[in-house]
Structure formats: structure tokens, C-alpha cells
């Protein structure tokens, strides 16, 4: 009998009615002749509410207790889902991460899975039950509850699919799959049928986040093919899998946009070893996440260094950079928000030439100025004015022939 792992995210189990809908879908899947394992997230908003609650009793809750607390969100959802199935006359049993055999290291709040022993799952499946597993959690070999980082239910599903060697792994969410661009930005965006792990990872790191990146990395490492699809309809979704030769024929698979960025420039940095190190060590110590970095060609012994980051992190910098700039003998520091990043992603870029030229031409057509450029093997990203991002995305989407027919 085929074995299917289905994961339902927080919105899909967001209220009793939706849980009932998920229960129905699970029963239908089982009645179609499959063994079914379901992984559920906490009902939408619950994890955030628990975090808020913790802060109300303690300014610095320990990570161990945070894990104990947060794991309850998924446990609520799993029990309710099992009850809903039972009330429809089906057979279901819910299991915590620990009961499902998910063993992790001891890094609380972002634990790594070290192994999965799905004995209990197999036993219940053998007895004809639908097995509902709490996502996002595991336990250490000492028996402490751990969680796998925000969005970690995706990882639970992929890891289980790998451990039980499932015939299919379906990630049900509130969107129809992965799109060529955010349809709210580019209305002509299309659902992508098949995407490679690397493209999926690049799209996620460029702002099109559908799944937890760690789970995609895990799937890549263990060769787990999975599908991202909607829990609100029966449309086929996007298959995420190892790349194949045919996938390289398309130069650009998708366009990602990331708003809410800021650009910081440190002017006239002395052009000598150690200056960039001092600058970025200070930022790292302040836990500021840096994205694109550009250093200009040196002129008369100094150079300008610019970088981008999330605008919300700007306040973390405060006057830190002014101090470091002074220490290393640089000129001024300027900060600018209202910046956005547009990226084109595709493994076909490795074999197609002219991708950058085509992107820049599309932007030129709209009179859009490029402030910074960054590239990887399968991505070209540009930093532009935030106000122009929607227009830029539309022009780029059209230029690469991605518009729906």
C-alpha cells in the first residue's frame, strides 16, 4: 500500500472548521488506498501567542522552557485533528515528536534532527490508523523536549518522509504552490510545475518564502521529492525535486521581490587590510544580518563600502557604525531606507548567456536605476528603489517570458 506523508500548516488547521476539513482530506486519502501520516503545525497565531505569553511572565525565559511551552501548540492541533477523524468514524492516533521517534541534539529552540525511529508510527499504521504527528518538535536522547526553529513542521514532514521512505510527501499550505513571482505583485504570475531544490532555496532566500529553508536543504541532502500545494482545493501544486537536464532549458524559473530593505554606505574607508573586517565584525557582534555587499574601486587610497539589510534591523545599528567609521579613519556613514531587492533565479543560468543583459534592459525600459548588483551561480539580484519594485518585477517577468498565456 502506498505510504503518504501530508503536512498541514497553521492556516490549514486554523480553526475547528478547517481542522474538520483536514480530517476529511486525510480520510479521503486513506480511503483511496493509502497509508497516511499527517504532520500538523500549531493553529495559526498560536506559536506567536505563546511567545508573547512567555514574555509577559519573564523578560528572559530559558530556551528549555520555551521549547516545553511552544511544543504545546502542535500538540493541541494534533489531538484535535485525531478527534475530528474519529468523530467521522475513522481511526486515528496522535503522537508527539518524541513518541514519533524524532531524536534531536540539545540546541533548544533550533534543534537539529539526529535520527528518526518511527517504530510507533509503523505500528499504528499497521493497525489501520491515520497517524497524526506534532510538527516542529522532537526530544533529546536525554528526554528533553526540543523544537526545530520557526516553520519547523516542514522539517518534521520531510524528515519523516525520508525515515519511512514514503511514496509521496505533500506540504499543504494556503497557497497553490510556488509561483514565478508573488501574484499580488505580478498578476500574470504562474504556478511553477517543477522546481529544483537549489532554485527553491534561492527563491526563499530572495523573499519568496513558502517553506522553511532548512527543510528544503534536508530534502536535498536526502533526496526527498515533495509537493507544495493548497489545502483549500484539489489543484496539483509544485513538485520540488533534484534537478534534471530538462530543467536547464529555462534560463529563469522565477522572480523574487524583497521589500523593506535598507542600504548603508560607509564612505572613504582607508583601502588597507583589516578595515572591512572591523566594520563587519562590529555588525556581526550586534547580530545584524547583512545581505548584499559592494565595495567600490579604490580612488586615492580610499573606497566606499555599501551593504543592504532588513530595514527593521536599522535601529540595531544606532551610532555603532559612526563609532567604528571614526576608529578606522573612514569618512561618513549614510543610511537609506525605501530600498528593495529584485532577484531572478534559475539553474538554466549556468548554461544560458545574456541573462544579466536581459534583466538590465528590462529595468532600463522602465527607467529604473540599479543601485547595486549581486550574483550567484543561479541568481542575479539588483537593489533598486522600493517604489519601483512592482513595475520592475512586471517588466522582468515579461522579459523572461514568464507571463501566463
Q: Among ligand ASP, Mg ion, none, what binds residue 71 when CB lies within 5 to 8 Å by partner kind?
A: none
Q: Among Mg ion, ligand ASP, none, what binds residue 73 when CB lies within 5 to 8 Å by partner kind?
A: ligand ASP
Task: Give the whole-angstrom CA distance, residue 132 versus residue 38.
Answer: 5
Task: Give the whole-angstrom CA distance, residue 179 versus residue 181.
Answer: 5
200 with 240: CB under 8 angstroms? yes
Tell whether residue 9 is a contact of Mg ion (CB under 5 A).
yes
Q: Closest CB to Mg ion among 157 and 186?
A: 157
| CA 222 from centre of chain | 18
380 with 283: CB under 8 angstroms? no
181 with 37: CB under 8 angstroms? no
DSSP-assigned letters across all residues of 56-76: HH-SS--HHHHHHHHHHHHHH
Q: Among ligand ASP, Mg ion, none, what binds residue 152 when CB lies within 5 to 8 Å by partner kind?
A: ligand ASP
Q: How far is the CB of 231 from ligand ASP (least distance, A)?
A: 13
C-alpha cell at 116: 528518526
Among 24, 150, 316, 352, binds ligand ASP (CB under 6 A): 150
Task: Give the whole-angstrom CA distance, residue 11 versus residue 68.
Answer: 22
Consecutive H or E run containing 102: strand 102-104
Among 5, 36, 116, 136, binds ligand ASP (CB under 6 A): 136
Q: Among ligand ASP, Mg ion, none, what binds residue 47 when CB lies within 5 to 8 Å by partner kind?
A: ligand ASP
Tell whether residue 10 is a contact of ligand ASP (CB under 6 A).
yes
Q: Closest CB to Mg ion among 39 and 402?
A: 39
Tell whether residue 42 is a contact of ligand ASP (CB under 6 A).
yes
Question: Considering only CA atoms, which of 268, 327, 275 is closest in space to residue 299?
Answer: 268
Q: Closest CB to ligand ASP among 213 and 302?
A: 213
Q: How far is the CB of 347 from ligand ASP (least distance, A)?
A: 27
C-alpha cell at 358: 536581459
Tell whether residue 73 is a contact of ligand ASP (CB under 6 A).
yes
Count of chain residues binding ligand ASP (CB under 6 A): 12
308 with 262: CB under 8 angstroms? yes
Residue whose Cβ sits closest to ligand ASP: 153
C-alpha cell at 66: 520555551
83 with 40: CB under 8 angstroms? no
Q: How far is the CB of 9 from Mg ion (least distance, A)?
A: 4
Tell whether residue 152 is a contact of Mg ion (CB under 5 A).
no
Tell whether residue 137 is a contact of ligand ASP (CB under 6 A).
no
Q: Where are the beta strands (DSSP E) in 97-185?
A: 102-104, 113-116, 130-134, 137-139, 145-147, 168-173
Q: Closest CB to ligand ASP among 205 and 306?
A: 205
Q: How far is the CB of 42 from ligand ASP (least distance, A)?
A: 4
Task: Give the whole-angstrom CA distance, residue 9 versus residue 171.
Answer: 8
Which span (101-109, 120-128, 149-157, 199-207) binds Mg ion, by CB under 5 A? 149-157
Q: Among Mg ion, ligand ASP, none, what binds residue 136 when CB lies within 5 to 8 Å by partner kind?
A: ligand ASP
Q: How far is the CB of 237 from ligand ASP (least distance, A)?
A: 17
Residues 289-316: b if buried by 16+ CB within 10 A, e if exposed: eebbebeeeeeeebbbbbbbbbbeebee
Q: Among Mg ion, ligand ASP, none, what binds residue 42 when CB lies within 5 to 8 Å by partner kind?
A: ligand ASP
Using CB under 5 A, which residues numbered 28 to 47 contact Mg ion? none
Task: Give the whole-angstrom CA distance, residue 55 versus residue 48.
Answer: 11
Using CB under 6 A, which residues numbered 320 to 349 contact ligand ASP? none
Q: What does the DSSP 8-state code read for residue 112?
A: P
Q: Closest CB to Mg ion among 118 and 151?
A: 151
Tell whether residue 151 is a contact of Mg ion (CB under 5 A).
yes
With cell 557582534, the residue in question is 285
189 with 180: CB under 8 angstroms? yes
Residues in contact with ligand ASP by CB under 6 A are: 10, 41-42, 47, 73, 135-136, 150-154
Residues in contact with Mg ion by CB under 5 A are: 9, 151
Amino acid at each position: 500500500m502506498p505510504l503518504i506523508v501530508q503536512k498541514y500548516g497553521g492556516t490549514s488547521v486554523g480553526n475547528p472548521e478547517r481542522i474538520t476539513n483536514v480530517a476529511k482530506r486525510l480520510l479521503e486519502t486513506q480511503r483511496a488506498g493509502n497509508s497516511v501520516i499527517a504532520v500538523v503545525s500549531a493553529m495559526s497565531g498560536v506559536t506567536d501567542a505563546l511567545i508573547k505569553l512567555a514574555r509577559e511572565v519573564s523578560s528572559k525565559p530559558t530556551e528549555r522552557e520555551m521549547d516545553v511551552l511552544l511544543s504545546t501548540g502542535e500538540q493541541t492541533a494534533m489531538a484535535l485533528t485525531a478527534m475530528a477523524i474519529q468523530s467521522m468514524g475513522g481511526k486515528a492516533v496522535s503522537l508527539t515528536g518524541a513518541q514519533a521517534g524524532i531524536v534531536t541534539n540539545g540546541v533548544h529552540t533550533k534543534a537539529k534532527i539526529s535520527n528518526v525511529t518511527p517504530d510507533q508510527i509503523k505500528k499504528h499504521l499497521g493497525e489501520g490508523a491515520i497517524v497524526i504527528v506534532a510538527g516542529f518538535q522532537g526530544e533529546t536522547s536525554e528526554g528533553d523536549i526540543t523544537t526545530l526553529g520557526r516553520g519547523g513542521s516542514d522539517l518534521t514532514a520531510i524528515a519523516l518522509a525520508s525515515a519511512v521512505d514514503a511514496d509521496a510527501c505533500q506540504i499543504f499550505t494556503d497557497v497553490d504552490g510556488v509561483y514565478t513571482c508573488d501574484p499580488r505583485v505580478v498578476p500574470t504570475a504562474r504556478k511553477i510545475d517543477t522546481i529544483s531544490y537549489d532554485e527553491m532555496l534561492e527563491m526563499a532566500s530572495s523573499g519568496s518564502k513558502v517553506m522553511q529553508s532548512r527543510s528544503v536543504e534536508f530534502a536535498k541532502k536526502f533526496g526527498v521529492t515533495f509537493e507544495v500545494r493548497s489545502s483549500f482545493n484539489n489543484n496539483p501544486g509544485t513538485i520540488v525535486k533534484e534537478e534534471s537536464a530538462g530543467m536547464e532549458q529555462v534560463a529563469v524559473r522565477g522572480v523574487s521581490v524583497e521589500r523593506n530593505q535598507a542600504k548603508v554606505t560607509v564612505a572613504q574607508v582607508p583601502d588597507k587590510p583589516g578595515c572591512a573586517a572591523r566594520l563587519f565584525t562590529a555588525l556581526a557582534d550586534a547580530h545584524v544580518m547583512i545581505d548584499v555587499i559592494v565595495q567600490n574601486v579604490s580612488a586615492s587610497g580610499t573606497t566606499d563600502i555599501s551593504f543592504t539589510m532588513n530595514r527593521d534591523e536599522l535601529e540595531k545599528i544606532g551610532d555603532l557604525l559612526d563609532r567604528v567609521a571614526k576608529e578606522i579613519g573612514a569618512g561618513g556613514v549614510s543610511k537609506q531606507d525605501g530600498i528593495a531587492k529584485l532577484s531572478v533565479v534559475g539553474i538554466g543560468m549556468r548554461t544560458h548567456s545574456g541573462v544579466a543583459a536581459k534583466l538590465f534592459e528590462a529595468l532600463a525600459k522602465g527607467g529604473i536605476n540599479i543601485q547595486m548588483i549581486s550574483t550567484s551561480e543561479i541568481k542575479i539580484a539588483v537593489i533598486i528603489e522600493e517604489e519601483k519594485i512592482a513595475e520592475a518585477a512586471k517588466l522582468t517577468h515579461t522579459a523572461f517570458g514568464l507571463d501566463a498565456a
